[in-house]
Amino acid sequence: MTTSVAFLSRQERFRSVPSTNDIVRNWLTAGTAEVCLAVAGEQTAGRGRSGRSWLAPEGAAVLLSLGFRPGYVAADRVWRLAALVSLAMADAAEEVAGLVAGRLRLKWPNDIVAETGAGLRKLAGVLGETEGIGTADPIAIVGIGINADWPRVRFPTELADSMTSLSEISGGRPIDREALLDSFLTHLEPRVLALRDRYFDVAGWHARQVATGRVVRIERPGGGVEEARAVGVDGATGALLVEDPASPGGECEILAGEIVHVRLAVERENVTP
């Protein structure tokens, strides 16, 4: 890796690991300072949200995890770490793939998606994991996988209608994963430094949201499913706000931990059940 970014305490590159989130968790548990970074060319046991697997062939995606010690963030604001990772990666991806600024959107809570002629497609997913939040020594691991130089002909058949890659949405342009990583870290650093000063880019986070104004399908743990119109996101709690005539004010909050999945339409992602 060529990047030298002052805010990183440790950065390592691996050809193949089970999961970069586990590498970083082990570092944090052993006392490594924030912000530490593990990058892998391939994961043999990559994890997605809600217990799903995360699939990407070697070299097709940028797969990385960051380790934080967020003692400077209130317990109910730790979600901002995952959000700023998504925002920094969206900025970097647009830059490296030559996309118009704002082309990539966030699907709550933290997926990066693109509107294509065939509908909404998932480009990246984020897995945030925490331990000890509210204690004197909280840790947070934020992993992100973004589909980079991955031609559609190599998409897994069962995911081909729900996923995309930067090379696909940029018309076949080759995507330099090193450049993407460098750009990501360049965009990430000021966002992390700002968070240490209690600042989070709420306006930028709002602006990227794709669900606002659209009907979402909310899947609850245990199988409950409901549909509601999303009206926005809450910059204080990180919640998705949806219309709810029964609630005071006509809307209610949905927190990421309360749901299995939010979909805008019939979608699937590069995860396996």
Nearest to 131 by CA among 236, 9, 26: 26
Residue from 25, 49, 107, 177 in contact with ligand BTN (CB under 6 A): 49
Q: What is the distance of C-alpha 248 from the center of its chain?
A: 31
Q: Is 67 in the site for ligand BTN (CB under 6 A)?
A: no
Contact 240, 253 (CB under 8 A): yes
| Minimum CB–partner distance for residue 22 and ligand BTN (Å) | 7
| Minimum CB–partner distance for residue 171 and ligand BTN (Å) | 25
* Distance from C-alpha of 258 to C-alpha of 78, rounded to nearest angstrom: 16
Place of tokens 């004197």: 136
Nearest to 71 by CA among 11, 133, 120: 133
Q: Is 143 in the site for ligand BTN (CB under 6 A)?
A: yes
Q: Is 11 in the site for ligand BTN (CB under 6 A)?
A: no
3 state DSSP class of 209: strand
Q: Is 138 in the site for ligand BTN (CB under 6 A)?
A: no
Contact 86, 124 (CB under 8 A): yes
Q: Is 69 in the site for ligand BTN (CB under 6 A)?
A: no
Q: Is 27 in the site for ligand BTN (CB under 6 A)?
A: no
Q: Is 140 in the site for ligand BTN (CB under 6 A)?
A: no
Q: Is 147 in the site for ligand BTN (CB under 6 A)?
A: no
* Distance from C-alpha of 61 to C-alpha of 206, rounded to nearest angstrom: 26
Count residues binding ligand BTN (CB under 6 A): 21
Q: Is 23 in the site for ligand BTN (CB under 6 A)?
A: no
**Pairing mode of beta strands 36-43, 10-17:** parallel
| Minimum CB–partner distance for residue 273 and ligand BTN (Å) | 12
Kindly report whether the peptide bond that precedes residue 35 is cis, defined as omega within 30 degrees of 0: yes
Enclosing H/E stretch for 122: strand 119-131
CB-based burial label for 172 (10 Å; 0-12, 13-18, 19+): exposed
Residue from 11, 20, 86, 162 in contact with ligand BTN (CB under 6 A): 20
Which residues from 219-238 bind ligand BTN, rule CB under 6 A? none
Q: Which is nearer to ligand BTN, 64 or 218 (CB)?
A: 64
Segment contacting ligand BTN (CB under 6 A): 121-129, 164-172, 250-258, 259-267? 121-129
Segment contacting ligand BTN (CB under 6 A): 101-109, 138-146, 197-205, 233-241? 138-146
Q: Is 170 in the site for ligand BTN (CB under 6 A)?
A: no
| Minimum CB–partner distance for residue 221 and ligand BTN (Å) | 15
Longest dimension (CA), the chain: 54
* Distance from C-alpha of 25 to C-alpha of 142, rounded to nearest angstrom: 10
Residue from 46, 67, 70, 238 in contact with ligand BTN (CB under 6 A): 46
Which residues from 78-117 bind ligand BTN, rule CB under 6 A? 111
CB-based burial label for 27 (10 Å; 0-12, 13-18, 19+): buried
Binding interface with ligand BTN (CB under 6 A): 19-21, 43, 46-49, 52, 54, 63-65, 111, 125-127, 143-145, 271
